[in-house]
Amino acid sequence: MATEMVINLLLEISIAIFLIHLINAFVYLGSEDNDYKTIAVKTFGQLAKIVLWIVAVVLVISTILQIDPIKVITGLGAVTAVLILLFKDTIVGFVTGIQVAYSQLVKVGDWIKVPKYEADGYIKEIDLMSVKIENFDKTVSSIPSYDLVATEIINYDPMTTGGTRRIKRAIVFNVKSFRFLSDQDVQMFQQYHLLEGYIKHHWPLIKAHNQTQKINTQILGNGLNFTNIGLFRNYVQAYIANHPKIDPKGQQLVRQLQMTEKGLALEIYCFTTTAIWKDFEEIQSDIFDHLLTIATQFGLDVAHNNSSN
């Protein structure tokens, strides 16, 4: 009798171990780092292993005590509440895994940012309990799986797969450097290739308006006139529109932000033709190297530079 029980126990344990290895094999074969199915496969695989171990434990207990497995399960019903508490994170992780896989929020290999945990990097692994993120400083952050849907996350993958990345940066100018432009100034700026068409179109209109209204243009503040900040804004707009590394299909905007005690900010908003980090930074740096330098030609005083990408 004892020999039969030992054989049954060994058989049950062997079958359980075999099935665990079989599940691991399916998870390995079904997981692809760039596929949203990876999350679902790992989630179902881990859940299957948990259920399998529970069944194995029930069978082992029933074999040792020589009682019907149904009675063991019935007995476990009394501690269901305790089991739910013990497996709360597992249950939540399972539901999260299904939701993430179905909605395609994130996948292994995505670049995400989780401000709550100051995590910023690539997802290396997603399982029932946690998400492992390799940060750009080569540290690894582990966050609960349910936070993928319960807290704020920023997924940069659509940006990288789309082959474009946004530039959103402002140059802040000292308003004391703003001034009206004389005719000599306008003639000089008309020699700038990017301003030639704009000035040729608007200058005759300005002159015609002032003459019609009989405005004394010897005083620069009278009537309509060009300003150095206004011409610079149009120069930046033309520079961005003609830049070979700026996506012509993306939104392009040069606008004034709310003035602060630091000065008036001119924000440049556009998209590059690449999402590769190194190339993006080079493009952005080249653009602002040029703009910060050319601003001095307009007599503008840069007070502060603020950026956000």
263 against 8, higher pLDDT: 263
The answer to whether residue 20 scores a pLDDT higher than 80 is no
Q: Of 129, 158, 187, which one is at a domain's C-terminal end?
A: 158
Phi-psi region of 93 (alpha: psi -120 to 50; beta: other; left: phi over 0): alpha
Judge if 153 and 174 occupy the same domain.
no
pLDDT band (50, 70, 90) for residue 4:
low
Whole-number pLDDT of residue 2: 65
Q: DSSP state, 297?
A: G
223 shares its domain with 300: yes
How do residues 232-259 score in pLDDT, each as one tens digit?
Answer: 999 999 999 999 999 999 899 999 999 9
Quickly list DSSP for 140-165: EEEEETTHHHHS--EE-HHHHHHT-E
> How far apart are the C-alpha atoms of 273 and 236, rounded to whole Å?
18
Last residue of a domain, one of 158, 193, 216: 158
Tell me, yes or no, whether 105 and 244 share the same domain: no
What are the angstrom distances between the C-alpha of 257 and each of 168, 172, 251, 262, 291? 12, 9, 17, 12, 17
pLDDT of residue 80: 61
pLDDT given for residue 98 in this prediction: 64
Determine contact, residues 307/192, Cβ cutoff 8 Å.
no
- At 115, give phi and psi (nearest 5°): -55, -35
Q: 139 with 170, same domain? A: no
The answer to whether residues 108 and 248 belong to one domain is no
Domain assignment of residue 142, given as a range: 2-158
Mean pLDDT, residues 78-105: 64
Q: What is the pLDDT of residues 266-298, one digit of tens each?
A: 999 999 999 888 999 999 999 999 999 999 999
List the beta strands (DSSP E) in 95-189: 111-114, 119-126, 130-135, 140-144, 154-155, 165-173
Rounded CA-CA distance 294/309 in Å is 23
State the CB neighbour count (10 A cutoff) for residue 108.
20
pLDDT at position 219:
84
Q: What is the pLDDT of residue 193?
A: 94
Which two three-digit tokens encode residue 44?
A: 């179902």
Among candidate residues 128, 158, 188, the one where a domain is terminated: 158
Whole-angstrom Cα distance, residue 284 to residue 288? 6
Let me know whether 283 and 173 are in one domain.
yes
Tokens of 122: 């690539």
Which residues have a Cβ under 8 Å from the Cβ of 151 and sit 6 or more positions away?
Answer: 114, 116
Residues 174 and 125 both lie in one domain: no
- Residue 6 neighbours by CB under 8 Å, 6+ apart: none
Statement to judge: residues 105 and 184 lie in one domain: no
- Number of domains into which the chain is organized: 2
Helix-, strand-, coil-residue percentages of the chain, each rounded to 5 = 55, 20, 25
Residue 145 and residue 31 share a domain: yes
**C-alpha–C-alpha distance, residues 142 and 77, integer Å:** 34
Residue 115 contacts residue 150 (beta carbons within 8 Å): no
| pTM as predicted | 0.61
